[in-house]
Structure 1
Amino acid sequence: MQKEELIQKFNELGIEDMAEVTELNELRGDFINLEYNLPSGQRIKLWDDSKLYYGAEICKKNSERCYGLAADDRYLLVCEYGDGGSDAEIVLLKRL
C-alpha cells in the first residue's frame, strides 16, 4: 500500500485527540516494536524487528503522552505511550 493511502486510512480512523496525519516515515521494526500488555497479562511485540514499516509519532492533544502509528501492507496500528515508549497501550489494531 502506498504511503499516501496509509495516511488517508489513519486520518479516517477518527481517533479523538489525534492530530491529522500529514507524514509517515520509513522506520525499522526494532525501532517501533514496543511491548504491549494483553488482558491475560502476557506481553507481546507485534512487528518484525528486521522489516521496514511506515510510522509516525503524534503528540496527543492536552496530554504528555503520544500516539505511535505504524503500518505495513496488512495492518494499521495506533498505540499510546509515555516518555521513551513507556506504558504502551494498543488503541487500535486494524487489518487492511
Structure 2
Amino acid sequence: MGTICGADCSQCWMKEKCGGCAETGGKPFGGDCVLASCCRDKGQKSCAECTSCEYRARLMEEYNSLGIADMPRVEHLEPLNGGFVNLEYTLPSGQHIKFWKDANIYLGNQLEKLYGDRCYGLTADDEYLLVCEYGENGSDPKIVCFQRRPQYPQHKPKE
C-alpha cells in the first residue's frame, strides 16, 4: 500500500477500509487528506519531495502558541483518520456535537497532560484546530480550545 505522507501503513488495522492514499489519489476512506492536498497544491507526488514540512511546522507553532499550561510542547503531528479522532462533545446547552468528518484525514497527536491522568487530543485541518482533553480510551472528552486557523495560503505552490 503506497503512502503520500510516508506513514508505515503495513500494521494499520484499518488498511483494508482505507484503500491507500497513493492508490486513491489522496482520498483514503473516500475523504480528503490534509497532507495529500498539500502535496497536490505544491505539484508534488509525496511529502518526501519537501525538504521540510512547512505545513506541519506552522501548525505545531499554532498549537504551541496557545499557552495551555499543562500541555507538553507539540513536536510531532501524525495523519489521523477522522473516524478515530471524531469524539462527541456535550456543549453547555446539552447539545451533542462532533466537529470532524469521519472519512477525512487530519493532522494531530495525543499528549499526556503534565499533571493528571488525562490526555490532550490535538486535531487540525486547513480551517480549524482543536485541543480537547479526555480520559482512558477517549472517555469524557472536554473541549479546551476550538478555533479557526489564520487565513493565509495553507499550501504554497512549488516554485
**Residue 42 of structure 1: how far off its partner (Å):** 1.1
Larger fraction in strand: 1
Q: Which has the larger radius of gyration?
A: 2
Residue 46 of structure 1 is matched in structure 2 by 99
How well do the aligned residues superpose, as a CA RMSD in angstroms? 0.9
* 1:18-75 alpha-carbon deviations (Å, 9 max, x no partner): 0000000000100100000011111111000000100000000121000000000000
Higher RCO, 1 or 2 (CA under 8 Å, sep at least 6)? 1
Residue 129 of structure 2 is matched in structure 1 by 76
**Structure 1, gaps ≥5 residues long:** none
Larger fraction in helix: 2
**Structure 2, gaps ≥5 residues long:** 1-37, 39-54, 150-159
Which of 18, 35, 40 matches 2:71?
18
| Fraction of identical pairs, as percent | 52
Q: What TM-score do you get using the length of structure 1 for normalisation?
A: 0.97
Q: What TM-score do you get using the length of structure 2 for normalisation?
A: 0.59
Please identify runs of 4+ aligned residues in structure 1 that moved more than 3 A: none
